[in-house]
Structures are given as structure tokens and as C-alpha cells.
Chains A and B, each alone.
Chain A
């Protein structure tokens, strides 16, 4: 049974728990610019001007700003929580240093200390081929290994990409998620800053995962990073993004946009663990297209935040394309994890698998919200959706809202869902082996997430197990 895997989980260091509880907070002396609270046309223009952007991007931002203003808030989902967002009480742009810095030695000490706690240098030593670390709204540290450049792989922050590869950006930027897609995509489009740009040329396989580390550090500051990943024909790449955030006293907003394009025969895996503090609204739009015989995989872990609304999508546009969404969510006290997946089968013989596992504890709430659509003519399309929810106590809850639109008879659609409570027999058995009640509970929850953890690189797996253990403390009794 999967439980055995987690018996060896290292104990959570006391200082890590303290940091998490009280929040890691650095001084704000290093901010070069911080916009006024609230969003106006002038602020959008200022952002574009400070970044020295071309006219087309400035026009794009301003158009997106108008769309943002005209679009109503979503009328579905946790509307009561969404109403808590005060758009006029948010800084939309904070610049911490002047641009990206190549060498680790050049990064300011207090920023470096933060990164040290997050394990960035260690991660780089271990297996990274490239690191793109984001502090506040902009990339401050970025390194690309020579081998990547030799292969023609482009990996940089989006601001740099706009300057260095304008033609690629003009062609693909916002074609997967246009500003009008939803209110928060419009907001991101208006004020985006940072994020990663990846382009892998035809036939190139990037052997090591590309990583970026994101962090929010300013009270009430929103982060609006924008990521674009393009894998050309036959290319392969694995991109990893992780997030942690310190404690804030008032709500903060994170609204990212991630676009992935997998050309014919290409393969892209996007792994993320999001660990926002519990006052953060995490409203993210992630969407990928997979052309003929291409594969896109989202591996998505959500822990923390006040409200997460995230539904990684895959549009299977070419024959034989394959998509997989593997997600795990944990909702604690006062939290709502509204997560799921969307898969659109728009071509014959396309296949998809959606696996979602969620745990709610201490009065937390999880929602699986998913869509599978089979287009007319998508003969031979196959999809399997499986969502399991584990509810830890009487105060917690879980909803499952799957939608299936099947417009092609000659397709196969499977859906399976389960909701369960933690079993007293399981607990009793684990405790009879000498574990405390809390350790036994954490172990069972870790086992529940085992399928997901197995897909993560080792350090992320360890981090996730630690976070789950921290979240589960005091959950029993």
C-alpha cells in the first residue's frame, strides 16, 4: 500500500513551521518602484513605459484594461469569496531590482536569503539546467546553461523575450488565452510582468527540467506573471514552477496566465506546486494546445490560498494528440480549492486522462470543476476522468461538478468519482505501529496523494509531504 512510501518522510524542521506560520517577510528597501494602489489607464501606460515596450504591446495592454473594466465578475464559483477582492486596494506593479541579473553573486543579500530558504541554489546544484527565479514582479536572477543555448533553446523571462524575440511573441502571444477570455485574464494582460518564455526548436529534447520559482513579498501586491511555452515539432520539454508566499495581513491577488503550444509530435509537461499563504486569491488561467500526435501534461498541486480557481485546459487539435491533467488540492481552514481540468477533443483518435485528488480539513472546502468536450467528428476519442475527495472532519466539505459534452457517438468517455472520510480502522492500524494520531493522519493523506507525489522531482515531493504534514497538524480530535 502506498502508505509505506511516506513513513520515511523527514520530520518538519521547527523553524520551517515557524516561518510558515508567521510568514517570511523581507524588508522592502529594495523596491525601485511601486505603483499606487488601484488600476488606472495611467498605471497601465506607466508599466509599459517603464519596461520600454513596443507600441503593439502598449496597445494590447490598454485594450485589455478596457476589457477588464467592462467584464463583470464571474457569476459562478465561490462568488461570496470573490466579492472580497478589493481591486482598488492592490499594487499592480512593483519593481524590486533593475532587470534580470545573470550571476548569483549580484543578487542582493536579503533577496538571496529568501531564495536560500526556498532552496533555489540547492535545487540548481542538484539537477537544474536553468533557473529563472522571480522575486516580486520581475525576474532578478536568471541563468541558462550553455548546452541549452547551443541547442537553440530559448529560456528567459517574458520581458526579455519581448525585447529579444518580438517576432515569436507577436505570432503566439495571447493566441491561446486572449484578454477577453475572462476578467482575470484581461487583468493579467493589462498589467503582466515577468513569467517565463520557453521556445524549444524542432526535434530538440531538453533533458533536464527548466525551473522557475515564484514568490510574492509585498503586502497587498498582486503578481501577474505571464508564461509562454512553445515546443516546436518533435521537441520535448519539462517546465517546473513552484510557489511559496509569506503571510500577509490583508488579501493579495495572484492572477497568472500560462499558454502552452505543442506542435506536431511535441511533448510538454508543466509541473507546478502552488503554496500560497491563506489570504491570497489565486485566480489563474492555464491553457495548452496539442497538435497532431503531440502530448501535453499538466501536473498541478494546490495547497494554501484563500481561494484558488484554476482549471488547466488542453485543446487536442490534431489527430492522435494526447493530454493529461494530474492534480491534487488541499483545503484547510477558511480555504476553498476550486480546481479541475478542461479537455477539448477537437480531432479524431485523441486521448485524455484527468485525475484529481482533493483533501479538505479544518472546515476547508474543495471543488472539482471539470469539462470534457468531444467535438463532432472526433472519432475514436477517448477520455477518462477520475476524481476522488477525502474529507477529514465534519466541518469540511467537497463538491464534484463534472461536465461532459459528447457530440461524437464513436468515442469513449469514462467518469469515476468518489468521496470518502478518513477511516478509523486505518488510523487504528497505523497507531498500533507506534505512530501518533497526527503522524498517522498525515501518513494516510500523503498516501492519498501518492499518485501525484510520484510524478514530482524529489525535492518537490519532499516539500509537498512536509507541507501536508504541517497542514494536517491538529487535524485530529
Chain B
């Protein structure tokens, strides 16, 4: 089946998934976008979105503490850079998938 022009583009949320005013600096919020669990992270006023699944063993990251741009998986302590998705320490090796974030006033939109 061929995809139509609309389907070929990255799917972007047409409705906001969260409000930045509800995610203070240094905190996170888990949302669901296009069937994916996505973690919104406020790093110094800028919002980044990564998949909320640790690449080590599949645990959720949202219970982990955000320290600057680093988030720690609460299960086995792997650190990730939420601005790039990169795994900073073992036991994780693979990076977290990242998503493009668009802000419109207080509203946060995510491309998934």
C-alpha cells in the first residue's frame, strides 16, 4: 500500500500534549504521542522529548531524577543526556530515540 502525502510526513500532534507551565525547570512529564511513551524534560527552560523507555532493559525513565540535562534510569542507574538521547553510562549502550518539540505559547507539541 502506498502512503499518501500526509502519512509520509512525521506525525505531529495537532493538539498540545502538555503545557510548559506544568513542567517546571528540572522536572519531567510523561505523555503518549502516536502510541509512544514520551518523556518531556524541562532543561533550563527548554523542553526536550525522548522516548520514556530505557534502552537497557525497557524500564520507564519518568520516575528517574533529572539532573541538568542528565536523567537516571531508576532501575539500573544508567544515565542519558535528554538533549541528545545519548547513553552516558553503562549499563545502557544504545541512545534514547528523540522527538522534535514545538512550542506555541504555553502549549507543547511533539512530532512522533
Contact = CB atoms under 8 A, between A and B. Distances in A.
A175 B90 contact: yes
Interface stretch (A156-164, A178-186, A441-449): A178-186
Interface string B47-82: 000000000000000000000000011111111000
B93 A178 contact: no
B81 to A, nearest CB: 13
B93 A67 contact: no
B32 interface: no
A180 B89 CA distance: 11
3 interchain residue pairs of minimum CB distance: A180-B77, A178-B77, A178-B89
Nearest to B88: A175
A181 B91 CA distance: 8
A178 B65 CA distance: 14
Given A178-B79, A315-B90, 15 more contacts: A67-B77, A175-B90, A176-B89, A177-B90, A178-B77, A178-B90, A180-B72, A180-B76, A181-B76, A287-B90, A289-B90, A317-B93, A344-B93, A346-B93, A375-B93
A11 B91 CA distance: 45
23 contacts: A67-B77, A175-B90, A177-B90, A178-B72, A178-B76, A178-B79, A178-B89, A179-B77, A180-B72, A180-B73, A180-B74, A180-B76, A180-B77, A180-B78, A181-B90, A181-B91, A182-B76, A287-B91, A315-B93, A317-B93, A344-B93, A346-B93, A375-B93
Contacts of A375: 93
A174 interface: yes
Interface of A: 67, 174-182, 185-186, 287, 289, 315, 317, 344, 346, 375
A344 B91 CA distance: 10
The majority secondary structure among interface residues of chain B is loop
B89 A174 contact: yes
Nearest to A67: B77
Contacts of B73: 180
A186 B88 CA distance: 18
What interface size band does chain B fall in?
Answer: 10 to 19
Nearest to B65: A63
A17 to B, nearest CB: 42
Contacts of A186: 77
A185 B76 CA distance: 10
Contacts of A177: 90
Contacts of B90: 175-178, 181, 287, 289, 315
A175 B89 CA distance: 5
A148 B28 CA distance: 49
A165 B57 CA distance: 34
Nearest to A181: B77
B38 to A, nearest CB: 22
Contact of B78 (A67, A178, A287, A289): A178
A266 to B, nearest CB: 17
A255 B79 CA distance: 22
A232 to B, nearest CB: 19
A57 to B, nearest CB: 15
A22 to B, nearest CB: 41
A242 B72 CA distance: 34
A67 B72 CA distance: 11
In this complex, the member of B78, B88, B90, B91 whose beta carbon has the largest number of chain A beta carbons within 10 angstroms is: B90
Nearest to B75: A180
A315 B90 CA distance: 9
A312 to B, nearest CB: 14
A389 to B, nearest CB: 28
A182 B78 CA distance: 11
Q: Which of A180, A182, A289, A344 lies at the interface centre, i.e. has the most chain B CB atoms within 10 A of its CB?
A: A180
Nearest to A259: B90
A180 B65 CA distance: 12
Contacts of B72: 178, 180
A311 B100 CA distance: 40
A185 B93 contact: no
A176 B93 CA distance: 11
Contacts of A344: 93
B39 to A, nearest CB: 17
Contacts of A175: 88-90
A179 B78 CA distance: 9
A126 B79 CA distance: 44
A66 to B, nearest CB: 9
Indicate the member of B72, B74, B89, B91 with the most A CB atoms within 10 Å: B91
A357 to B, nearest CB: 27
Nearest to B93: A346
Contacts of A174: 89
B69 to A, nearest CB: 16
Contacts of A178: 72, 76-79, 89-90
B63 to A, nearest CB: 10
B4 to A, nearest CB: 31
Interface string B73-110: 11111110000000011110100000000000000000
Contacts of A180: 72-78
B102 to A, nearest CB: 32
A189 to B, nearest CB: 9
A324 to B, nearest CB: 19
A79 to B, nearest CB: 19
